[in-house]
Amino acid sequence: MLQVQKLSKRFRGPQGREVLSGLDLDLAAGEYVAIMGVSGSGKSTLLNVLGGLLRPDAGSVCLEGVELTELDDASLTRLRRRRIGFVFQAFHLLPHLSAAQNIALPLQLDGVPRRQALARAAALLEGVALAERADALPGELSGGELQRVAVARALAHEPALVLADEPTGNLDHGVGLRVLALLREQLGRTGGSGLLVTHSLEAARSADRILVLEQGRLHAWRGETG
Ligand SMILES: Nc1ncnc2c1ncn2[C@@H]1O[C@H](COP(=O)(O)OP(=O)(O)OP(=O)(O)O)[C@@H](O)[C@H]1O
Ligand SMILES: [Mg+2]
């Protein structure tokens, strides 16, 4: 469902360097893959490119037969809203909307009636153990709570592709496992594919396979010592 070929991305500026250099990735429909790699190795950059938020310098990103690098910004935004669920490392919640409204908004933007969108938000908040904070504003939520709202928002429209950037980084062990279970359960039920970026080997092990981003490319994980 996702084919990435020879992807390259360089950041300009004094310390500009090539973060992704000729990266390949093939993600099958329904497949759930974890990506590990040291801080600064380019994991967020990769997800941003795959989610159409950042333009690569070279290479091809083909999602469900659509070449993302050929789309204009408006088409990319539409495709992202319909087919991709993005859990940002920095959450990006809208500060003036409640937790439930943040989750419901993308659905409403895509034509789902308000009442139905809020019902879906309520169910997802329940799923991430946050039902009682539905009406709180982001400024009133803890880091881990914000993270769970961000996960719920990414899953709300049952996207074909979930891109999750360290979605359990701020969570305690138990809640982290619950969030990963929710993600896995939904991917299994909807046939969606997922890319999970994580620093936690335990979280990575919840995926079908583990890749490591190193020197601009993805390699199969070679075990604890690899
Ligand atoms: N907009 C930017 N301009 C210049 N350099 C950038 C920019 N964004 C990221 N970088 C650099 O690119 C490299 C990769 O960053 P990226 O955020 O993809 O790493 P990461 O693997 O997600 O790290 P972490 O595990 O800390 O989240 C880093 O060295 C970072 O400083
Ligand atoms: Mg990152």
From the CA of 40, the nearest ligand is 1
Between the alpha carbon of residue 199 and those of residues 30, 56, 96, 188, 217, the distances in Å are: 23, 24, 31, 23, 17
Mean pLDDT of the chain: 93
Taking the whole predicted model, whether its pTM rises above 0.75 is answered as yes
Which residue's CA is minimally distant from atom 11 of ligand 1? 40
Over the stretch 96-133, which tens digit does the pLDDT of each residue have?
Answer: 999 999 999 999 998 999 999 999 999 999 999 999 99
Residues by chain with Cβ below 5 Å of ion ligand 2: 43-44, 89
Q: How confident is the model at residue 225 (pLDDT cuts 50, 70, 90)?
A: low
Q: Please tell me the distance between residue 43's alpha carbon and the centre of ligand 2 in angstroms.
A: 5
Q: Please tell me the distance between residue 21's alpha carbon and the centre of ligand 1 in angstroms.
A: 14
The arithmetic mean of pLDDT across residues 8-34, rounded, is: 92
Distance of alpha carbon 81 from alpha carbon 158, whole angstroms: 11
Q: How confident is the model at residue 170 (pLDDT cuts 50, 70, 90)?
A: confident
The arithmetic mean of pLDDT across residues 2-23, rounded, is: 91
Distance of alpha carbon 92 from alpha carbon 129, whole angstroms: 20
Over the stretch 145-154, which tens digit does the pLDDT of each residue have?
Answer: 999 999 999 9
Over the stretch 57-71, which tens digit does the pLDDT of each residue have?
Answer: 999 999 999 999 999
Domain 31-54+74-220 CATH (choose: 1.10.10.10, 3.40.50.720, 3.40.50.300, 3.30.1330.40) = 3.40.50.300
Q: Are 5 and 59 contacting, i.e. CB atoms less than 8 angstroms apart?
A: yes
Q: Burial level of 86, CB count in 10 A (0-12/13-18/19+)?
A: buried
